[in-house]
Structure 1
């Protein structure tokens, strides 16, 4: 399954996705800045091509980048060189989030894991990844961990069933609702995924050694259609910025977490 997932991300433009859907990056960055220390060493674990890493490096943090996919690690290296940020990186490593033995204990002032839990379908693997994050983060260090909410994928499957086969059949949606596991029927699509029940996220992190600080909906704006976004953009930059500000302010409202395609957990190692 890991080879299939790596093949998918080799072809998928994750950097471009965050440009096409800027609300997710802007909301996450707002909360990163709220909770990050003013300086220090940061781990971006499962960083993909390094969109967040580059921003962190540009802000003066010392960044270590890891990802499962060699091609994306090389892409991140190239991007750092292109942006003249390589001096702020302590390393670019190909590594599985469940095995960070290349990194020392208690090394980082803050750690990001904004993707690996999407694709760890076994409970033992999810626990192992979080335990590794705990190990390499300093006591009192802040962690930012991304999750996908199960209820949102249920709704998405109901709205666009032919895009999410085999969830074009109610029996399969019911099964997904119980398991949280999603394996796309069509080759080359987003697959090998695991979606959390929202109410399970904080307890899962807390039992593995973290104090919960916040849980936000990174992209509650995915509820809006392309036409909706166009309407507000056409109103002008001032009006559009107000939309972004409102969605950012509402991101940690627990009543809207289920409509966001991604969630960001923020915690502290105790």
Structure 2
């Protein structure tokens, strides 16, 4: 599988430890903490190497994790400590039949939507996340954004002609298909359209890394005080509609009604 080959050689754990990756992690945790309570039961679907699952388990929460890629599961298991109330099993976001209906207060779908290329697959994954979440529970669904990819990979890295040819990018720059078979890219209207197929209440649509991925080198060279100011600015602006398109990652947060 292309996805397994990709994650077998990609260091996802250290990506979230870099300055630009930390912005995404800190922002996501900031919003999780808005809704989590002391007795919240959490599921993370597509948990990767466990950066979020372990952080939450170490804070005392009960976490069940599901991950597709065996390599990521091996790393996840190596990091489990005796004080963590956490489980990990291999599974697919589109089939969570091992999990009961209406079980979780917090459902994290922070990776699978990156890799699902048809609307049918996307709806199946969201349907499963919706099913296992309690009524009144909160679902966090993450997406990769198309315009940020056009700007950084296309123009900053001088790959725009390749993208327009290989990805069949149209002259409106609003629809293209990834030839790499790894990442599905979205726009705000795509995310809203998927969410509106379910009986949910929208809470937040967040650009989790904002402009960070466009300024990696600048962030890495910032002193700590300036980086804290940048984080303060980012958290103050990350829900602004006019900022969403520049973010590489977005987080759609909604309540199951």
Note whether the superposition's TM-score is higher than 0.5.
yes
- The structure carrying a bigger helix percent of its residues is 1
Q: Secondary structure at the match of 2:136?
A: strand
How far apart are the structure 2 equivalents of 1:256 and 1:198? 11
Matches within 5 A, 1:155-234: 155-160=151-156, 166-167=162-163, 169=165, 172-174=168-170, 177=173, 179-184=175-180, 191-222=181-212, 224-230=214-220, 232-233=222-223
Between 166-175 and 70-79, report the one with greater CA deviation.
Answer: 166-175
Matches within 5 A, 1:1-270: 3-20=1-18, 21-81=21-81, 84-86=82-84, 88-89=85-86, 91-160=87-156, 166-167=162-163, 169=165, 172-174=168-170, 177=173, 179-184=175-180, 191-222=181-212, 224-230=214-220, 232-233=222-223, 237-270=224-257
Q: Which runs of 5+ in 1 are unaligned?
A: 185-190
How far apart are the structure 2 equivalents of 1:231 and 1:19? 15
Q: Which runs of 5+ in 2 are unaligned?
A: none
Q: Secondary structure at the match of 1:80?
A: coil
Cα deviation digits, residues 42-71 of structure 1 (max 9, x gap): 001001000000111011110000011112
Between 157-166 and 29-38, report the one with greater CA deviation.
Answer: 157-166
1:175 deviates by: 8.0
Whether the 8 Å contact between 1:154 and 1:173 is mirrored in structure 2 is no
Task: Classify 1:176/1:143 alpha carbon distance in 2 versus 1 (closer, same or farther; 3 Å).
Answer: farther
1:207 deviates by: 1.5
1:215 deviates by: 0.4
Could you say what the CA RMSD is over the residues aligned between the two structures, in angstroms?
2.2
Whether the 8 Å contact between 1:48 and 1:67 is mirrored in structure 2 is yes
* Aligned residue-pair number: 255
Whether the 8 Å contact between 1:127 and 1:208 is mirrored in structure 2 is no
How far apart are the structure 1 equivalents of 2:214 and 2:184? 24
Task: Classify 1:171/1:142 alpha carbon distance in 2 versus 1 (closer, same or farther; 3 Å).
Answer: closer
1:168 deviates by: 5.9
Task: Classify 1:113/1:158 alpha carbon distance in 2 versus 1 (closer, same or farther; 3 Å).
Answer: same
